Amino acid sequence: MAGPMKKTLLSLGHGYSARALARILIPQGWVIHGTTRSEDKAQVLRDEGIVPHVVTDVVTDDAAIPEGWGAASHLLISAGPDADGDPMLRAYGAFLRDLAPRLDWAGYLSTTGVYGDHAGGWVDEDTALTPSTRRGQWRVAAEAEWRGIDGLPLHIFRLAGIYGPGRGPFSKVRAGTARRIIKPGQVFSRIHVEDIAQVLAASIARPDPGAVYNLCDDDPAPPQDVIGHAAALLGLPLPREEDFVTAEMTPMARSFYAESKRVKNDKIKTDLGVALKYPTYKEGLADLLRLEESQGAG
């Protein structure tokens, strides 16, 4: 299979999930080029062994191509789209179309929001894409843009709600600001960032261009149950219940409740052989709490 040649990942929008993947790949000798929007974040990436590239909002297709990008054997796209499409294709489209046939693997991080609302029903990778939010519609369009590139060995990963170190509910529960928003019938699927990373690594090891994978755990659950469990783990009182209809929420937070579905994850297990480290939020939260306590939090 893999020879001694160095593998090089070009990571466009090197954020939370991509950094978790890098922690798997760098010990294996990979070179990773990652884009970020600020010099402060670039220094964080540098400290993690990434070759950082600060990319501002470039909107033309003639942006200068940083040194080393042409050596990429693998491509990961994590940057989110906007109303005008995918920002990385806007900025680097000509380069990426030229690079595409030379790549061994490309991965696009999308969202389960592309499926829209299913009133708590199950969806899988073959479910029609009927997004009900603007962000979901942008994602469907961006998936199509990337699929339209000739010769690109594309894999699409549709991510449920992401949690992990630094992105857990404990700080809000401790501070007394956590709320249990009640909307009857509402369920969300979620995924621990380390499980995202292991799925991406498994796909890189077993490429299947054209494949689509849902990334979520085995237990879609009402959001108030997750907050309640976090409080129980901390030994703190159950946060107050608030009715969704009357609760004060930002438009962004409210939009997440516009869709309710249970997402099937069979394909990452059958096709990629993945065994989830955190099959439900209960294992995930327990591990997060152990990590926080070991770092002196709380």
pLDDT level of residue 64 (50, 70, 90 thresholds): confident
**Domain presence at residue 177:** no
pLDDT tier at 63, thresholds 50, 70, 90: low
**What is the tally of structural domains in the chain?**
1
Let me know: does 40 contact 216? Beta carbons within 8 Å: no
Alpha-carbon gap, residue 208 to 191, rounded angstroms: 22
| Percent of the residues in the chain that have a pLDDT greater than 90, as a whole number | 88
Q: What is the pLDDT of residues 131-144, one digit of tens each?
A: 999 999 999 999 99
Residue 4 above 80 pLDDT? no
Query: What pLDDT sits at residue 62?
Result: 60
Q: In this structure, what CATH number is given to the domain that contains residue 153?
A: 3.40.50.720
The angle subtended at Cα 74 by Cα 271 and Cα 114, nearest 5°, is 55
* Average pLDDT of span 264-275: 98
Asked whether residue 275 carries a pLDDT value surpassing 80, the answer given is yes
- DSSP 8-class letter at 204: H
Identify the pLDDT of residue 195: 98
pLDDT computed for residue 3 by the predictor: 46
Return phi, psi of residue 88, to 5°. -75, -35
At residue 296, the pLDDT reads 77
Given a cut of 70, is residue 60 above it in pLDDT? no
- Global pTM? 0.95
State phi, psi for 217 to the nearest 5 degrees. -90, -170
Question: What's the rounded mean pLDDT across residues 83-98?
Answer: 93
User: Rounded mean pLDDT of 212-227?
Assistant: 97
Compute how many other C-beta atoms are within 10 angstroms of the C-beta atom of residue 16. Answer: 15
Domain region containing 55:
8-160+192-216+263-276
Rounded to whole angstroms, how far apart are CA atoms 194 and 174? 24
Q: For residue 55, what pLDDT is reported?
A: 86
Q: What is the mean pLDDT of residues 107-120?
A: 97
- Cα gap 247→267, rounded to integer Å: 37
Burial tier of 190 (Cβ tally within 10 Å: 0-12, 13-18, 19+): buried
What's the pLDDT score for residue 56?
75
**Contact between 77 and 93 (Cβ < 8 Å):** no
Asked if residue 243 belongs to a domain, the reply is no
In a domain, residue 37? The reply is: yes
Q: Is 46 within the bounds of a domain?
A: yes
Q: Read off the pLDDT of residues 236-266 as tens digits, 9 standing for 90 and up.
A: 999 999 999 999 999 988 888 989 999 999 9
Inform me whether the pLDDT recorded for 79 exceeds 80. Answer: yes
208 located within any domain: yes
DSSP state, residue 278: -
Residue 174 lies in a domain: no
Predicted confidence (pLDDT) per residue in 20-48, tens digit = 999 999 999 999 999 999 999 999 999 99
User: How confident is the model over 168-197, as pLDDT tens digits?
Assistant: 999 999 999 999 999 999 999 999 999 999
pLDDT at residue 202 in the model? 98
- Widest distance between CA atoms in the chain: 60
Asked if pLDDT for residue 2 goes beyond 50, the answer is no
Q: Does the residue 197 lie in any domain?
A: yes
> Between β-strands 212-215 and 105-111, what pairing exists: parallel, antiparallel or unpaired?
unpaired
State the chain's mean pLDDT as an integer.
94
Nearest to 224 by CA among 213, 204, 239: 239
DSSP lists the bridge partners of residue 75 as 10, 106
Tell me the C-alpha distance between 14 and 20, whole Å.
Answer: 10
Residue 228 lies in a domain: no
What are the phi and psi torsion angles at 26 (to 5°)? -60, -40
pLDDT at 61 over 60: no
